[in-house]
Structure formats: C-alpha cells, structure tokens
Chain A
Amino acid sequence: MEAPSLLRKLFKQYYDSCSKDDFTLRSFTEREFAFLTFDSEGMIRHKSFSSPEELLEYMRNSPPAHVYYSSAYYETPAAEEMDAKGWKGADLIFDIDADHIATPCKEEHDTWKCLDCGAEGRGMPPESCPNCASKKIEEFTWMCERCLEAAKAEVLKLIEEFLIPDFGVSEKEIEICFSGHRGYHLHVECEDFRHLNSEARREIADYVRGVGIVFEDHGFTRLGSTRVLLGPSLTERGWRGRVARGVYTVIDAIDMHAPVLYMPARDLNWLRENRQAILEALSKEPPFWAIFSKLKKQSLKELLKAAVTQCACNIDERVTIDIKRLIRMPNSLHGKTGLKVVKISYADLDSFKPLKDAIVFRKGYLKLHVKRIPKLRVGEVEVGPLEDKVVELPMAAAVYILARGAGEPVWR
C-alpha cells in the first residue's frame, strides 16, 4: 500500500469516528463545499449539503484529503457558474500564516528549489529565482513550534489591537481555527460585515496592515514653516496612538533587536545616544515630538514607517478581500499534515499547542522510508534530520511525514 491509499484509509477511520455535530456551520445549507481527493488532482467543487449528517456521510464514502466550505452564502450554492450561485453575503475572514511571517528558524527547516534552473536555497522562498528569475519555485516548508508561536502572536495582535478596540467586535463574535498546517483562520461572526464588497473589505485589510497611512492625518504636523513637530500621544486611540506607541517601541529596542532603520549613520547614532531622553519626551502629555527636530525629514519618516511595520498585523490580505473564498472546514483533516483543523476560543488560544492538540492519530507505530526531513517535532516526538532512512515512528509523526510526501510506508 502506498502513502496516498494508507492516508485515505486513516482519514476514513477518522471520519467514521466523528459525529455530525463536529461539522455544523452557520447557514449550513447556503454554503458551497469543495474537496480535494487523494487519488486525483482536480478539485471537486460546487457541492452543497442539506445537513452536517449528509456531509459526513459523503466524507465517509469518499474520504477527502482536504475539505473546504465557502465563506460566502449563496442562494444556490451548488450552481456551477459563479454568477448563477446568487451571492448573499460572506463572513469576514482573516488568514494568518507562518508562511508570511519572517521567522529566523525558517533558515533551519525550510528550503526551496527553482524548477527551471535547479537553484536551491534555505529559508523563506523568494518570489522569483535569484539565479534565473523564474517564478516556478517549489517550496519544502515544515511546521515548527516557533513559526506557529509567531503566527499565534499575530492572531492575538489582530484581536487585541484591532478587532476588539478599533472595530468594536466582541470576544464571542470571534472564532479562531488552527488551519492544520502553518497558520490560523479567524472568522468574525458579525452581521454588520456580511454584506461588504471586496473594496470595502480591502479597507479593513489595509487598516490592520497599516497600508497607505498618511501621517499628517494622524496628527503629525510641522508648526508653520518651523522644524517643530507636533504629533499624537501614546494614549490616543486608533492608529494615532498606535503610531506613537510604535515609535516608542522602536526607540526602546534600538540597541537590541530593533527593525532595520534606513537612515544616515549620524541620525541613527543620535537616536541611540538619546534613547532615554526621547522615551521621556514621548511619554509627556502632550508628548514632546519636537525632540525629533534634529533628525532629517527623511529619517523621521523612516522612523514612523518602522513604527507602522512594528504595529501592523501580518495577515494575508487576499483572503480577507475575497468574498468567495473557500476555507478549510473546522474539524476536517489537513491532507498535507494529517492534523485536525481545530476550533479554538479566544480564551483558550493562549494555551493551545497546535503540534499536540491537533493530533488525531495517537495510537500505534508505522515503519517508513524517509526521503529527507529536517528536525521535526510532532506531539511528544522529535525526529530528524533524516535522509534516506527506514525508521519506525509513532503514528502522528509518521502520518505527517507521509502527508508531506517525504516518505513511503514500508511493509514487512
């Protein structure tokens, strides 16, 4: 038995053990469902089901590798033409993926390869090959605790810095899902946002990403023609206070892991030498922004931009903007990891351990031939790095490696 058939069998066992209550959704019958299977490439789309029971029945009969549902609500979700579906509205969704966050550990566990010229590298894959500029880049990415922690921190930032204080969303309207691989999805279950079109959602996405900020609109002005600068205070709300606090954080960390500031050495040194005085000036009420009068105009702008980067939330804006997105189904399995898509409440997020809590296959061992893996941790098990070895591993780790396509089962 080869990896796909084995995974299919295991996934079926999982869906057999599920109950229909695991697959409830708001407005269930208005959603489109889609599946990827283990044995063919194409996506099975435009499915609709009358109840979670019927969906579960379908998944038991033909166990899918991936299960998705539409963020949109349709009059006729099963219509094959998008136009004929009759769009009624869509959930507001945020996608936070470790793929989009630069974590230092990516150098250790992620690699990429150019399919055109064969160039290889470590870390985050480039947009185009640095050698031949081809865009055909194959990625070999792996889950890791640090990456997932970084993604989780970003989710918390989104909720605590933006959704609750600025957008006025309440805790109970927020639903979080671990994606089963490298990130989290966040659904805002609030009627108000349901009918917004893409353009309006782009405004939300740009807001949390800090895209297009005009500093003058947030209180940064020069007094007349002088070099004296006015600006918002740390305690103000919205982006005004956020930029101010961002500058504070950047200056505070300027000797340590501060973001790279592109400015003349003279200005950078001045910031370093006057760190304490600047922090005090910013904490005053009103803050004494004029302390930055010594900086070149361009350097100040650079500092403000760094502050925005510091405070912005790293979401994949395409997902938020798309009003017809297919989203991974909660409690389904991710076909590329074998992990469960887990719903988590905001209160439980802090203690949620994806590489432990999302494990489904806990029993038994499996012998497999590993092609190549970096050092991995799945559940309590740590394996790798390994290359071209036959090993016997606990089921969860074995399933993960098979699902990544990095190994084949070995039968005695």
Chain B
Amino acid sequence: MSTFEREFCAKYPFTETARNYIASTGFSLEDLASGEFVEIVERAKARIREAIQRGEISTFLEGDLDVEILSYPVALVILGLLGEARLARRYAVAESKRVEELLLGEDDDVLVRVAEEAFSWRLVKERTRMGSKLIDFCMPVHQFIATAATFHDPHWKLVNKLVYDGQVHLRRTEVARLIAEEVKNRVLVRISELTSVGGEALKSLQPHLEELRREASGRMKYLELPEEGVTSEDAYPPCIRKLLEDLRAGKSLPHMGRFALTTFLINVGVDVDEVVALFSSAADFDESKTRYQVEHIAGLRGSKIRYLPPSCETLKSFGLCVEEAGCGNIKHPLIYYRRKLRKRRATSGGTEPSKEAV
C-alpha cells in the first residue's frame, strides 16, 4: 500500500481501507503477549493518556505508520478491558475531535470517502444555492437524523436544514462535525463490545491497565465519589433535595428533573430498587417502565454507559437549580455532595481525606 494510503489509514483507522489493511498485516491481539509489539502498546497508551490529560489525541504521521494504525484497535481493547465508562467517553470524544480537525483540512473527496468507508453514508458533493450562500454537500435524510438527532443545538434540527428529494444539504464544517460525532458513537460501541479479551493478551496488558487506571483516576478524580456509598440525604445538594421532596409529595417532576434525580442517586450509590421505589409515588408510575429507565441510566442496559447527573449550568437552564440556596462556586451536584461528605468526615474525625493525593 502506498504511503499516501497508509497515511489515510493512520488518520482514519476506522475506515474500511484501514480495517482491511490491519487484517492484511496479520496482526492479532495474541501477538501483544510476545513483547515484539511493545511500540504499538506504548502508542496506544499514549493515545489514551493524551485523551485523559488534554482531552485530545494527536496523529503521528512522521514515525512508523503501522504503529500508528495498529495503536488504534489496541487502544480500544485496552479501554474495553478497563471498563471505565467515563474514560471511554472521554477517549471517544477526543478521537472525534481529532477526526474533525483532520477533516477540516482535507479535500472534499476525502470527506466523502471517509463517510462512505466508515459508515456507508451516501454523502455526495453537490453544490446547491441556498439564498446568497452555496452549500457543498448533501446526504440522505435517514442517515443524517440517525446521528444528528442527538445534538441539542437547534441549528442541527432537521427542520432547520434545507431538505428536499430525500437529501439534507450540509456545509463542509457540518459534514466534518457529523462524521466526528458518528466516530464518537462507534468508538463507544466498539469499546463496549471489547470488554472481554481472554488469554495471553489480557495477561500481558494487565500491568498497563493498572497504570492507566491510576492515571485516569488521578486526573478525573473530581467526579469520583467518596468510598462506601453511605448515602446521607442531608449531604445532597439543594436542587436534588427539592426534587426528592416534590416527588415524595406526589408532584410530577419534569423529564429533566427525573433524569437529574435518578442519575444523582445512582451515582451516589443508591441501588436501582430503591430508586424505582421512590418513583412509585408518582401519579403515572409504571414499574417496568421506570425500572427499565433507571437501569438504563445506571448503565445496566443498552449503551452500558452509566450516566452522570447534569451540571449545575444545565440544571439552571432547565429551571431546576435552587439558586437562593447559594452553593457558591460549585459546578456539579456530585461535587457538592462529595465536598459536603468530606467536610463532615473531617469534622467527625474520620480518616478519609488521605485519599485525595494520588
């Protein structure tokens, strides 16, 4: 394969060309045990490390391209074995950013090729006049909404796009963003499929896993929770206490309120049964539905991703923040909880705070 093509594979290792190339090298995970491929493992770790530390991943085209290409599947295997949903998410977002930046610097044909090879998107270069502007691409409605529906920005709504003959017309920057988003989705799916790799490969990766786990927990500590799920309600932030009160009083919570409450409770260690029981006082309670949703949020179903509660900013925009309570500079309900608990333990003479430094 030409250097140009191998560079393409290094930049877009999730494309068909790259997958075929990887298959043609005959590389398998079992090989990792031999120590011969230490460079690949190190590069894979570097990818993950960069994602942890900076939320970004660089693309190296100067060194051995094979190492660069193979480090991608190996990184996903490592993340799968780590089984840390938050880390997986952070990594997926970083990969998606990497791809978006690269795409913005490419020719139109490369965007079309990546979209086709990676997701079978029928992206077409078609210049359309939209008022005084020209738009360069279009793609089928169903493929567009399958990815774009998760965006919250109103400009991404189908109703705000130029749509006709089954095609959505998109600008170059939008196409790059959309491809990047789908990369994120696929990376997450792939990682969730790779949770069990057996045998020698696993053994040889074990020390690396421990190392990365330590680094990740050091870096992403702010979202970690105190040991032992001693859930003490009075340490809950005011917004969550308010939601609980309302729910217990039989008021119906808005969708976002339910989501915030459930994610919060799950993350502080309340078990699924208890959460479901809480909702049983709601007027429209349906146990099997509620259980399904709570389990989904807890990461026991579907995407296997455990959701975090929304940030204070989001809660504010949905009118769920109890602003007069004055939480100070806190930006996330879980941080409020963690600080409160820690403070309490410190005053009650607990030995907890030693965990802080890693």
| A183 proximal to B (CB < 8 A) | no
Contact of A204 among B145, B164, B301 (CB under 8 A): B145
Contact of B160 among A165, A195, A202, A218 (CB under 8 A): A218
| B162 proximal to A (CB < 8 A) | yes
Chain B residue numbers with a CB within 8 Å of A192 are 140-142
> Is the CB–CB distance between B159 and A210 below 8 Å?
yes
Chain A residue numbers with a CB within 8 Å of B301 are 83
Known: A168-B141, A214-B155. A200 touches B146 (CB 8 A): yes
Chain A residue numbers with a CB within 8 Å of B278 are none
> Is the CB–CB distance between B164 and A166 below 8 Å?
yes
> Is the CB–CB distance between B157 and A240 below 8 Å?
no
Task: Tell me the residues in window 236-272 of chain A with beta carbons closer than 8 Å to chain B beta carbons.
Answer: 236-240
Known: A212-B159, A213-B159, A214-B155. A240 touches B130 (CB 8 A): yes
Chain A residue numbers with a CB within 8 Å of B157 are 203, 206-207, 212, 214
Closest to B140 in A: A192
A330 to B181, CA, bound (A): 40
Known: A196-B146, A212-B157. A83 touches B140 (CB 8 A): no
Chain A residue numbers with a CB within 8 Å of B148 are 203
| B158 proximal to A (CB < 8 A) | yes
Task: Tell me the residues in window 79-95 of chain A with beta carbons closer than 8 Å to chain B beta carbons.
Answer: 81-83
> Is the CB–CB distance between B166 and A169 below 8 Å?
yes
User: Is the contact region of chain B dominated by helix, strand, or loop, or is it mixed?
Assistant: mixed
> Is the CB–CB distance between A238 and B163 below 8 Å?
yes
> Is the CB–CB distance between A166 and B142 below 8 Å?
no
A230 to B131, CA, bound (A): 9
A200 to B141, CA, bound (A): 10
Known: A199-B149, A200-B146, A240-B130. A207 touches B158 (CB 8 A): yes
For chain A, the count of residues having a C-beta within 8 Å of the partner chain is: 35
Task: Tell me the residues in window 98-116 of chain B with beta carbons closer than 8 Å to chain A beta carbons.
Answer: none
| A365 proximal to B (CB < 8 A) | no
Chain B min CB distance to A85 (Å): 13
| A167 proximal to B (CB < 8 A) | yes
Chain B min CB distance to A238 (Å): 5
> Is the CB–CB distance between A232 and B167 below 8 Å?
no
Chain A residue numbers with a CB within 8 Å of B121 are none
Chain B min CB distance to A152 (Å): 24
> Is the CB–CB distance between B150 and A196 below 8 Å?
no
Chain A min CB distance to B151 (Å): 10
Count of A-B residue pairs with CB < 8 Å: 88
Task: Tell me the residues in window 350-377 of chain A with beta carbons closer than 8 Å to chain B beta carbons.
Answer: none
> Is the CB–CB distance between B160 and A212 below 8 Å?
yes
> Is the CB–CB distance between A239 and B145 below 8 Å?
no
Chain A residue numbers with a CB within 8 Å of B165 are 165-166, 168
| B154 proximal to A (CB < 8 A) | yes
Chain A residue numbers with a CB within 8 Å of B163 are 166-167, 207, 238-239
Interface centre among B130, B140, B154, B167 (most CB of A within 10 A): B130
Closest to A233 in B: B131
Contact of A168 among B160, B161, B167 (CB under 8 A): B167
A199 to B145, CA, bound (A): 8
Closest to A194 in B: B142
| A193 proximal to B (CB < 8 A) | yes
A199 to B302, CA, bound (A): 15
> Is the CB–CB distance between A200 and B145 below 8 Å?
yes
A238 to B128, CA, bound (A): 13
Closest to B129 in A: A236
> Is the CB–CB distance between A238 and B164 below 8 Å?
yes
Chain B residue numbers with a CB within 8 Å of A212 are 154, 157, 159-160
Chain A min CB distance to B141 (Å): 6
A164 to B15, CA, bound (A): 33
A279 to B159, CA, bound (A): 25
Closest to B133 in A: A219
| B21 proximal to A (CB < 8 A) | no
| A386 proximal to B (CB < 8 A) | no
> Is the CB–CB distance between B160 and A213 below 8 Å?
yes
| B292 proximal to A (CB < 8 A) | yes
A195 to B165, CA, bound (A): 20
Task: Tell me the residues in window 22-61 of chain A with beta carbons closer than 8 Å to chain B beta carbons.
Answer: none
| A211 proximal to B (CB < 8 A) | yes
Closest to A192 in B: B142
- Chain B 152-180 near chain A by CB (<8 Å), digits 1 or 0: 00110111111111110000000000000
Contact of A240 among B146, B162, B292 (CB under 8 A): B162
> Is the CB–CB distance between A168 and B159 below 8 Å?
no
Chain A residue numbers with a CB within 8 Å of B140 are 192
> Is the CB–CB distance between B166 and A167 below 8 Å?
yes
A195 to B120, CA, bound (A): 15
Chain A min CB distance to B55 (Å): 25
Chain B residue numbers with a CB within 8 Å of A81 are 288
Task: Tell me the residues in window 78-106 of chain B with beta carbons closer than 8 Å to chain A beta carbons.
Answer: none
Chain A residue numbers with a CB within 8 Å of B150 are 199
Contact of B159 among A207, A232, A236 (CB under 8 A): A207
A192 to B167, CA, bound (A): 12
Chain B residue numbers with a CB within 8 Å of A206 are 157-159
> Is the CB–CB distance between B141 and A239 below 8 Å?
no
Chain A min CB distance to B120 (Å): 12
> Is the CB–CB distance between B167 and A83 below 8 Å?
no
Chain B residue numbers with a CB within 8 Å of A166 are 163-166
> Is the CB–CB distance between B141 and A217 below 8 Å?
no
Chain A residue numbers with a CB within 8 Å of B159 are 203, 206-207, 210-213, 239
A259 to B131, CA, bound (A): 28
A213 to B132, CA, bound (A): 20
A214 to B157, CA, bound (A): 9
> Is the CB–CB distance between A217 and B160 below 8 Å?
yes
Closest to A232 in B: B131
> Is the CB–CB distance between A203 and B158 below 8 Å?
yes
A237 to B164, CA, bound (A): 7
A199 to B157, CA, bound (A): 11
> Is the CB–CB distance between A203 and B160 below 8 Å?
no
A210 to B159, CA, bound (A): 7
> Is the CB–CB distance between B160 and A214 below 8 Å?
yes
Closest to B167 in A: A168
Chain B residue numbers with a CB within 8 Å of A82 are 288, 292
A83 to B292, CA, bound (A): 9
A200 to B148, CA, bound (A): 8
> Is the CB–CB distance between B131 and A219 below 8 Å?
yes
Closest to A195 in B: B146
Contact of B141 among A165, A167, A202, A237 (CB under 8 A): A167
Known: A169-B166, A192-B140, A232-B131. A203 touches B155 (CB 8 A): no
Residues of B within 8 A of A (CB): 130-132, 140-142, 145-146, 148-150, 154-155, 157-167, 288, 292, 301
Known: A168-B164, A196-B142, A204-B145; 18 extra A-B contacts, CB below 8 A, are A82-B288, A82-B292, A83-B292, A83-B301, A168-B167, A192-B142, A193-B142, A199-B149, A203-B157, A203-B158, A204-B158, A214-B160, A217-B161, A237-B164, A238-B163, A238-B164, A239-B162, A239-B163
5 contacts between A and B (CB under 8 A): A204-B145, A206-B159, A212-B154, A214-B155, A238-B164
